Each structure stands twice: as C-alpha cells, then as structure tokens.
Chain A
C-alpha cells in the first residue's frame, strides 16, 4: 500500500465514474457516476494527507469538504430532477432539448 497504488485505485474510480457520467441516459444513474468520481477524489485526498502531509489536520478538512459537496450535489441534483420531471415529465437526458433550439 504505497501512495502510488492508492492513487492508481483512485484514478480507476474516477475513470469509471467519468464513464458512467458520460454514458448513462438516466439522470439518477448520471449522478451515481458523479458520486463515484468524488469517491476517487476523497480516496486520493486521504492518501495524500496520510502519506505526504504528515497528518496535518487541514488535509482531513479537505475530505470533509468533499463529503459536504457530495451531499450538496445529491440534494440539488434530486431537486433539479424533480423540478424537471414535473415540468417536462423527463427522466432521461435526451428529454431535455430546450438548449438546442
């Protein structure tokens, strides 16, 4: 378990997350992709904090902020989906085409 291996695992999570974000049609699944990317970011942050920052408390703080961002992303995401669903009855990304016209 070296920093390199941890970061490679984090990179794998971010890569899979990007794949999910780009490929999924459903809004909710798209958000799952974003969450997975943030998961990788958290792992990388803790890895850096633990193995290069010598236990500086601000490193952990960064992870807590990422968690808060994740919660915000979830809440706003679901609220937007609900609003969009109410307005257009769409739950897939293709349902939103207003910006094309």
Chain B
C-alpha cells in the first residue's frame, strides 16, 4: 500500500551539476513528475548532470552518502563509461524523465537495490576522551577528546561578548542556487560572512548555452538561434535569483520559459517580469547590494558592464543587427537589481529581435556578443572580496547576480 502510493509521487531528485556537456537540467522542471530538492536528504535519486572534475569526486561521494535509503544515482550526459547500468544513464539529448520515473518506481518497490555507502561510515577522528567526565583535559577547552581541536577557526578571537563565535566551513560545489563547481571556505559569524576563500573555481558556461555561439565560428547560423540561446541563458540566470528571494514557483516558470525558448516556441517574458515585480522583487533586492565599481564592470564586460551603464556590445558593429536598429540596453546602478533588470531587458530584446528578423542569417565568424562576461584576460579581483559583511542570503544573491563566466574570472584558484 505504502509502496504503491509512494511510487506515484513526483520523483525527488537532487541535481549535481557537472561541467563537460552538462545537459539543460531545467528541462526536467517542465515535467510535474520531477521534484528537484534543495538537499540530498530529501531526494531518492542523485542526478549527476555531465562529468564532474576529478577533484569534486569526493564531494560527490559525500552527497551520495547523504541520500536516505532507498537511493540510486543517475548519470545524465555524454561521457559516461559503459560500466554504468542502462537504467541509470541517459545521453544529454535524451529526455530522462521516463527513465527516472522507472528507476524510482523500482527503487521504491525494491526491484532496484539501494546503493550502499561509497565512503566509510565512521567518525573522521577516533574518540580520545579520558577522565571522569570523558573530558580528556582540564579547563574550558576540555582537551581534544575527538582527536581534533574545537570547531573554531585558527583566526584571532573576534568575540566581544555580544557577538557569536565564528566558525569556518566549506560550501559547494553541488548545491542548489550555487554556482556549479565553486567551492568556498567561508567563515561565518551567525549567518554573516566574515571572510571567504576560493577552494575550487566554478565551472565555465555550460555547453548547452554555448552551442549556437560556437557554431557561428564555423558555419552560417540563424540570428534567431543565437538570440534564443541568449534569452534562454538569461532566463535561467533570472530563475536562480527568483528562487533565492523565496519565489520558487516563478523560478520554475522562468526555467520552463527557457526550455520553451530553446524549443523555438513563441513565449512572452513580460508576464513573468510583472508577476515578479508584483511579488516585491525590488524590495527583496536591497538597493546597492552587490554594487561593483566601474573599472571591475569594464574588465568583466558583457551584461555586467552594460548594467553599469556602458553601452558596449559587439552586436552594435554587426551589420545584421544594425539593419534591425539594434542599440544595447543599459542600466546605471551596477548592483544586483541592475544586473537582474539587465538580464530581463536583454532577454526581452533578444526575443524582440527574433520576431523582427525570424529568417536573418549571419555569416560564419560574424561578431556577436556572448550572453556572458568576457572570458579573458585574467583579472585581479576576487569574488570573495564582495562577500564579507553580507548575510548569507544576500551573499547568495550577489553570487548569483553574476553569470558563470564572470564568476570564473573573479574566482581563479588561489595559490596559498
């Protein structure tokens, strides 16, 4: 009875976003049959989308072991070895919903055995307590009975009696609404970030967004295809911000819109934008939050630069676009709000261009602005400089107000 009911529930899936050939995960959300969970503890299936870096394999194993039984892993991408069970993988162009559904049903009924631990299930350090109370030492700190120091960072004591103690923890690389691949070592005081350091950089922009832009380098490509890819990329970025301000339903709507834009459907972004505005999106993004200076904005380029007021856009010099009276849209404030408005405006503009010139073609090698920040040259600014002093939810908003290319350039691996 219980199993039959459970088998009919939406499949709870936790997504670990990989890098190479990572499929468009937002496609999953079109189906009401899939629930993307916020934590692995609530999921039955760990969905690995694309290949992960070797250095992230240990994180992936830890996430895997956090899933409650019965659990299974599902690989979605093109670079999986043949040793993976057919029921547990799909190519990136496939629609995996049916396979996920079947895998889930078999898990619930017991036909598919639950996966065992990948890591040893034991405390990282043995108990070394001694004495009457097991304290292993005298005084307040009580020795090191767990074989490690108190969970406090080796930084200077910043307490003044009215401040919480600080603690340091690693966050990433697989979290919802977190730049895929980014691992930060964050020192918190309560929920306010004291300092942050990059442990692993984020992944570059996904292939799924890059396809038309890469193709333009080698062959003649339709303007509509390029602009649709731009609108879809921006919609996915918008969706992450919407989710962070507590509008998960609008976020899902934005991601579904992105999928429909890619599938060449005619969609309107205006209703989504209005719904978000009515929900109080402006109030949720404090003015000045995540403001960057003009020099950084110029160095980053792309939407971040245009959100700072510079009308720099490669499309201004492209004859296909100038024939359509293209002028870049800009914002002035250069904060999270401005970058979000910039995404909305550019996505709307892209769709307007598509409907203005549905059949326009561009020659191979034509100069077109990518939807994200410049990917070179190296930059001497770290995203971690933006975070100290921010409350955790604000910090997430700031991180997610940049596209992945901008984050990559602001978070190269720091050599200690």
Contact = CB atoms under 8 A, between A and B. Distances in A.
Interface residues of A, number: 6
Interface in A53-93: 81-82, 85-86, 91-92
Contacts of A81: 161
Contacts of B162: 82
A92 B141 CA distance: 13
A81 B159 CA distance: 13
A92 B160 CA distance: 14
Contacts of B161: 81-82, 85-86, 91
Interface string B208-242: 00000000000000000000000000000000000
A98 to B, nearest CB: 18
A91 B165 CA distance: 14
Interface string B132-161: 000000001000000000000000000011
Interface of chain B: mostly helix, strand, loop or mixed: loop
Interface residues of B, number: 4
Interface string B355-399: 000000000000000000000000000000000000000000000
Contacts of A82: 161-162
A82 B162 CA distance: 7
Nearest to B140: A92
Nearest to A84: B161
A52 B161 CA distance: 45
Nearest to B162: A82
Contacts of B160: 85-86
B353 to A, nearest CB: 61
Interface in A8-38: none
Nearest to B160: A86
A91 B161 CA distance: 9
B158 to A, nearest CB: 12
Contacts of B140: 92
A98 B62 CA distance: 53
A82 B159 CA distance: 11
Interface in B147-206: 160-162
Nearest to A81: B161
A81 B140 CA distance: 18
Nearest to A90: B161
A92 B161 CA distance: 12
Nearest to B161: A85
A65 B32 CA distance: 59
Contacts of A92: 140
A91 B160 CA distance: 11
A8 B161 CA distance: 38
B133 to A, nearest CB: 14
A85 B161 CA distance: 6
A84 B162 CA distance: 12
B157 to A, nearest CB: 9
B138 to A, nearest CB: 12
B80 to A, nearest CB: 56
A9 to B, nearest CB: 28
A89 to B, nearest CB: 9
A83 B140 CA distance: 21
A11 to B, nearest CB: 28
A92 B162 CA distance: 16
A94 B69 CA distance: 51
A86 B163 CA distance: 12
Contacts of A91: 161
B116 to A, nearest CB: 45
B231 to A, nearest CB: 55
Nearest to A26: B140
Nearest to A83: B161
A16 to B, nearest CB: 19
B135 to A, nearest CB: 14
Given A82-B161, A85-B160, A92-B140, 6 more contacts: A81-B161, A82-B162, A85-B161, A86-B160, A86-B161, A91-B161
8 contacts: A81-B161, A82-B161, A82-B162, A85-B160, A85-B161, A86-B161, A91-B161, A92-B140
For the complex of A and B, list the 9 residue pairs with the smallest distance between their C-beta atoms, beginning with the closest. Answer: A85-B161, A82-B161, A82-B162, A86-B160, A86-B161, A81-B161, A85-B160, A91-B161, A92-B140
